[in-house]
Amino acid sequence: MIKVKILCLLFLTFFFSLQGSSQILESQYQFQETIDLIEFVETAAAYFSQKGAGAFIDFGDKDSKWIKGKRYLFLYDLKGNCIFHPYEKEFVGTNILDLQDMNGKPVIRNIIDVASNPSKPYGWIHYLWAERGEIFPYWKSAYVMKVNDQEGNSFIIGSGTYQIHLEKKFMLDTIDAAANLIKKEGEAAYSKLVDKSTMFYFSDVYIFVISMEGKAIVDPVFPGIKGRDLIDFKDGVGKYVVREMIDKLQIEDKAFIVYLWPQPGQSTLSKKMLYVRKVKVGNDHVIVGSGLFIVEPIWK
């Protein structure tokens, strides 16, 4: 009886903490679908912590709140064993640690890496995936987090959605990770930044590296051309984008630049935001960055 009361208390504490986290989520993310997915996974984690394996009956009920269209839950242990999946039944009870997407991205290993972070055992992974019975893959973004059962065993619970709106936070986290990798490995990191099997490539996000003189070092747009001179690159209204980038990073280590450029397949101009960081490599500094289109009219 005491154990039941303790578990109920823990569940209620977790539940009300979710309410308080809503404002934090809204400050970090722009799109409601992103916030909804995070809260969905967090609520499921609290339910699993209380019910343990007994939650799987509900998680697998296609008429329940836990399954809605292509949104469902999955559960793995930290060794890559599939504990629960409502659709990929052949995965359950097997080790799928080496499962990859079509670009060779190690999906399960990336999930484990996220959940194994001691200071922040939760986060996002992005991968190219096709649902069962479909021919063409789409970008899928999954939010995962570590969760413990009643006995203290650790698992990873998560859920994903296709073609999610690209959040500013996705780009910031990716660039920060790229900058940290360059600080650690120097020029040896450059090849990883254009490797489609790494975390640095997904959807419309890609990493570039430019010298402080405006020469391309890591050039995902034209990987076969070395040292393109970008110093005179202008946006759709004549703004010198790279020059502004360099000017800001002369006095700061991080900067945001907004410029106007047509989205792929369109002729009208849209706002695009760049996030860039200055990183020291050897005796020189380089610019590491990426960009995404801002979902709002250009006159704002």
Mean pLDDT in the chain?
91
Whole-angstrom CA distances from 55 to 8, 50, 64, 150 are 15, 9, 12, 12
Is pLDDT at 235 greater than 60 in this prediction?
yes
At 6, is the pLDDT very low, low, confident or very high (cuts 50, 70, 90)?
Answer: very low
In the block, residue with structure tokens 């690209």: 166
Q: What is the pLDDT of residue 223?
A: 85
Is pLDDT at 300 greater than 50 in this prediction?
no
Q: What integer is the mean pLDDT of 177-202?
A: 96
Which phi-psi region, left, alpha or beta, contains residue 203 (left: φ > 0; alpha: ψ -120 to 50)? Answer: left
At 120, is the pLDDT very low, low, confident or very high (cuts 50, 70, 90)?
Answer: very high
Report domain 168-293's class: alpha beta
The whole-angstrom separation of Cα 116 and Cα 79 is 11
Q: What is the pLDDT of residue 134?
A: 83
Q: What integer is the mean pLDDT of 151-161?
A: 97
Lowest mean pLDDT: which of 27-31, 139-143, 274-278? 27-31
Contact 174, 199 (CB under 8 A): yes
pTM for the model stands at 0.86
Q: What is the pLDDT of residue 210?
A: 98
Q: What angle do CA 282, 287, 291 make, to 5 degrees?
A: 150
Q: What is the pLDDT of residue 298?
A: 42
Equal CATH topology for 2-162 and 168-293: yes
Q: What integer is the mean pLDDT of 237-261?
A: 97
Q: What is the pLDDT of residue 204?
A: 86
Contact 154, 54 (CB under 8 A): no
Please, where are the H alpha helices in the chain? 2-28, 32-51, 55-59, 107-115, 168-185, 190-193, 241-249
Tell whether domain 2-162 is in CATH 3.30.450.20: yes
Q: What is the pLDDT of residue 26?
A: 60
Q: Give CA torsion, residues 36, 39, 44, 49, to 10 deg.
A: 180
Q: What is the pLDDT of residue 7?
A: 47
Is pLDDT at 12 greater than 70 in this prediction?
no
pLDDT tens-digit series, residues 73-101? 999 999 999 999 999 999 999 999 999 99
Q: What is the pLDDT of residue 25?
A: 67
Q: What is the pLDDT of residue 296?
A: 61
Q: Per DSSP, which regions of 93-166 are E strands?
A: 122-129, 138-148, 154-162
Q: What is the pLDDT of residue 8?
A: 54
Residue 228 three-state SS: coil
Q: What is the pLDDT of residue 221?
A: 86
Comparing C-alpha atoms, which of 253, 220, 218, 215 is closest to residue 231? 215
Lowest mean pLDDT: which of 9-23, 179-193, 218-232, 255-269? 9-23
Per-domain residue ranges for the chain?
2-162, 168-293
Q: What integer is the mean pLDDT of 155-182?
A: 96
